[in-house]
């Protein structure tokens, strides 16, 4: 299979994976995809730094399943609006709804998704479904011969 065809198939597979993820999240959040994006952005802002710090990740893996609230970096609504490219007022309304639903907590410095929310049955189920969706994508990519080795990291960084 030539490179261009492989790339086109890989992109179609990735789009399918994204659409499955959107469908899952949409069902979990009652069709409010914007609220789901705000929630996911808070999660990423809270714990994304741990994935880039190998020492923290290794330490965390030996101690607890989920990062405790103290390890979460709070994020502001303004930062979320900038990240998502949506109006501050829209983000403010979605944050209010997520706080009212008990999914977000406002602390000094911004917002976090508390550990107990991430450990809930709903989040565990959604995380597992997301992992299965991602694994499905990796299997499909491997089947068409997409390079999944670390050698592809340079290309990924060059494109980013």
Please write the tens of the pLDDT for every residue from 31-41: 899 999 999 99
Whether 159 has a pLDDT exceeding 80, the answer reads no
Please write the tens of the pLDDT for every residue from 135-147: 999 999 999 998 8
Angle of helix 33-51 relative to helix 77-84, nearest 10 degrees, comes to 100
Q: Is 1 helix (H, G, I), strand (E, B) or coil?
A: coil
Contact (Cβ atoms closer than 8 angstroms) between residue 115 and residue 66: yes
pLDDT at 98: 95
Please write the tens of the pLDDT for every residue from 57-93: 666 665 567 888 988 999 999 999 999 999 999 999 9
Q: Which run of H or E residues covers position 111?
A: strand 110-112
Could you say which architecture CATH assigns to the domain 3-147?
Orthogonal Bundle (1.10)
Which of 13-22, 28-37, 50-59, 145-154 is predicted most confidently? 13-22
Q: Which run of H or E residues covers position 112?
A: strand 110-112
Contact (Cβ atoms closer than 8 angstroms) between residue 33 and residue 26: yes
DSSP string, 49-110: HHHT-HHHHHHHHHH-SS--GGGPPPB-HHHHHHHHT--HHHHHHHHHHHHHTTS-EEETTE
For the chain, domain boundaries:
3-147
Please write the tens of the pLDDT for every residue from 89-117: 999 999 999 999 999 999 999 999 999 99
Which residues on adjacent β-strands are paired with residue 75? 111
């Amino acid at each position: 299979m030539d490179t261009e065809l492989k790339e086109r198939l890989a992109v179609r597979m990735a789009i399918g994976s994204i659409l499955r993820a959107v469908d899952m999240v949409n069902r979990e959040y009652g069709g409010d995809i914007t609220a789901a994006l705000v929630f996911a952005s808070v999660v990423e802002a809270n714990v994304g730094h741990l994935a880039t710090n190998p020492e923290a990740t290794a330490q965390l893996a030996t101690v607890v399943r989920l990062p405790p609230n103290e390890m979460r970096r709070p994020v502001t609504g303004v930062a979320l609006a900038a990240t998502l490219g949506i109006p501050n007022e829209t983000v403010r309304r979605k944050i209010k709804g997520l706080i009212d639903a008990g999914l977000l907590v406002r602390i000094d410095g911004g917002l976090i998704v508390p550990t107990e929310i991430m450990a809930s049955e709903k989040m565990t189920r959604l995380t597992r479904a997301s992992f299965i969706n991602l694994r499905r994508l990796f299997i499909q990519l491997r089947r068409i011969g997409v390079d999944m080795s670390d050698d592809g990291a340079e290309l990924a960084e060059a494109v980013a």
